[in-house]
Homo-oligomer: A and B are copies of this chain.
Amino acid sequence: MTATAADDGLTIYERSRPGRRAFVAPGLDVPEHPLDDLVPARLRRAETPRLPEVSEPEIVRHYNRLSKRNFDLDTGFYPLGSCTMKHNPKLHERVAALDGHARLHPLQDPRRAQGALELMWRLQESLAAIAGLPHVSLQPSAGSHGELAGVLLTRAFHEDHGERRTKVLTPDTAHGTNPATVTMAGYEVVKVGTDAQGNVDLDDLRAKASDDVACLMLTNPSTLGLFEHGIEEIATIVHEAGATLYYDGANLNAIMGICRPGDMGFDIVHFNLHKSFTQPHGGGGPGAGPIAVSDRIEPYLPRPQVVRRGGADRVPGEDPVFDLDYDRPKSIGRLRGFQGNYGVFVRSYAYIRSLGAAGLRDVSEVAVLNANYLLAKLRAEGVLDHLPVAYERICMHEFVLSGAPMKRDLKIRTLDLAKRLLDHGVHPPTVYFPLLVDEALLIEPTETETKETLDRFAQILVEILREAADDPEIARTAPHTTPVRRLDEAAAARRPVVRQAL
């Protein structure tokens, strides 16, 4: 049911008609030189790029219509595990759009960008406080970029101490970016197992923590939504092997203000500002992946670093001065251009300022409360009979169910359940991750959802399971009410069409 205009599903190129346009060029106000005098013909292209020819009203309608083919967090429940799809306060968009932030050139002289540098410095301080680690670099562009920075920092640390290590450990529950990062940083991945309670298998870890291991990358709470019982033991093992302990901060939303990675023994932490700190996800970015590190890692942080000159011992009454410090001889260097995704920093800083310490703690408490409530509710409603929880424990901000019994008994897979959820107007949880759990369903409700929403979600799962018991075909052929039906991904990959033929 929809109040929406007809959508013919054309692409913007298919709407193109010769002669239509939106852009009007400002008039030429300088003496005109013949083109050939300015750029020799042999360097010029013969044919203009075939961009669409469309007017403003058509562009607006086109993308408005496209937008209506997207499910969005501002309209519905989006419990996509590991992604922290929580509400992004609208204030953040407003402050990020202020001219002084949005129209600031990245190469503006630091003396004329004091507000931006101070904001970054304060954000660094705040993230350091949250992580319990003293030094922060804001440069990485996303979580995985932060991971890469972290592993390269580890390399630099070891090299600086005359060591050359070749392996990095990742649990078998790890997010795919962890092993991919390891390879990309020039290390070999060694997988560590998970024990029966969903913790890192300490024996396996001990066995693999040899002196060619550079680092253990860990997510805590893990991607199973569980807090590592043996976190301190883990830290000891890793440190005794001379390796660093890396904290994948994707699940930080569970523990803000409750405990700190630095206190657990982590050397390096990345934050996903687009998860815990409300940068809107944008359909797949932008994000930002700042890192916090301990003193021993600090010398290697990327260049440049935002610093406050004068610091604590500055002349009283004199304003502090903020600057970019390039003079970092041991730095791993740059990871990207300029100073990082500043627009994201503005939003995350606004978030932290709005909540303060008490607010951030509330966030994590309610995130964990909501997850446990939903889990309990699903249990009470009998959903867990078909989709048992992977590990019977109090969960943190998310939890994993296994669809294996459902697949066996009701003949629908986790994928089918997910697709059927679409018909109920709910975004499915993360599916088939973590890999460890058969037919996994990873559910993260977040703190910004109401009890009514959680109850309704539980109800929908009940309905889908009941329906599947009657007629599994409905779920197996779902979704039925979306703009397109189930899509053939295999065909797409077999003969890839990645651009429109014009």
Contacts and interface: CB of A to CB of B under 8 A. Distances in A.
Interface of A: 1-8, 15, 17, 55-58, 60-61, 64-65, 68-72, 74-77, 87, 89-90, 424-427, 448-450, 452, 456, 481-483
Contact of A87 (B60, B427, B456): B60
Contacts of A482: 1-3
A81 to B, nearest CB: 18
A220 to B, nearest CB: 27
Contacts of A87: 56-57, 60
Contacts of A5: 71-72, 75-77, 425-427
Contacts of A449: 57
17 contacts: A2-B2, A2-B68, A2-B481, A3-B482, A3-B483, A4-B75, A4-B76, A4-B425, A5-B426, A6-B76, A6-B426, A55-B448, A56-B87, A57-B87, A58-B450, A61-B74, A64-B72
Contacts of A76: 4-6, 61
A89 B22 CA distance: 10
A380 B58 CA distance: 26
* Candidate in A8, A64, A76, A483 with the most chain B CB atoms within 10 angstroms: A76
B71 A75 contact: no
A89 B448 contact: no
A367 to B, nearest CB: 13
B4 A71 contact: yes
A15 B452 CA distance: 9
A70 B448 CA distance: 26
Contacts of A90: 56, 60
A75 B64 contact: yes
The 6 closest A-B pairs by CB, nearest first: A5-B76, A6-B425, A57-B87, A5-B75, A57-B448, A5-B425
A452 B8 CA distance: 11
Contacts of A424: 6
Chain copies in complex: 2
Contacts of A4: 2, 68, 71, 75-76, 425
Given A57-B87, A448-B57, A1 B2 contact: yes
A14 to B, nearest CB: 10
B70 A74 contact: no
Contacts of A17: 450
A131 B77 CA distance: 53
A87 B61 CA distance: 10
Contacts of A6: 76, 424-426, 456
Contacts of A70: 3
Nearest to A58: B450
A481 B1 contact: yes
A53 to B, nearest CB: 12
A223 to B, nearest CB: 25
A90 B57 CA distance: 9
* Candidate in A57, A74, A89, A449 with the most chain B CB atoms within 10 angstroms: A57
Nearest to A22: B89
A75 B65 contact: yes
A229 B105 CA distance: 60
A87 B58 CA distance: 9
Contacts of A74: 60-61, 64
A5 B482 CA distance: 11
Given A2-B68, A3-B71, A17-B450, 14 more contacts: A1-B483, A3-B68, A3-B482, A4-B68, A4-B75, A4-B76, A5-B71, A5-B75, A6-B456, A56-B89, A58-B450, A61-B74, A64-B72, A64-B75
A17 B449 CA distance: 13
A77 B64 CA distance: 13
A99 to B, nearest CB: 10
Contacts of A15: 452
Contact of A75 (B55, B68, B425, B483): B68
A425 B6 CA distance: 4
Nearest to A354: B24
A58 B73 CA distance: 11
* Candidate in A2, A424, A425, A483 with the most chain B CB atoms within 10 angstroms: A2
Nearest to A483: B1
Contacts of A450: 17, 55, 58
A74 to B, nearest CB: 5
Nearest to A71: B3
A75 B56 contact: no
A61 B75 contact: yes
A151 B3 CA distance: 40
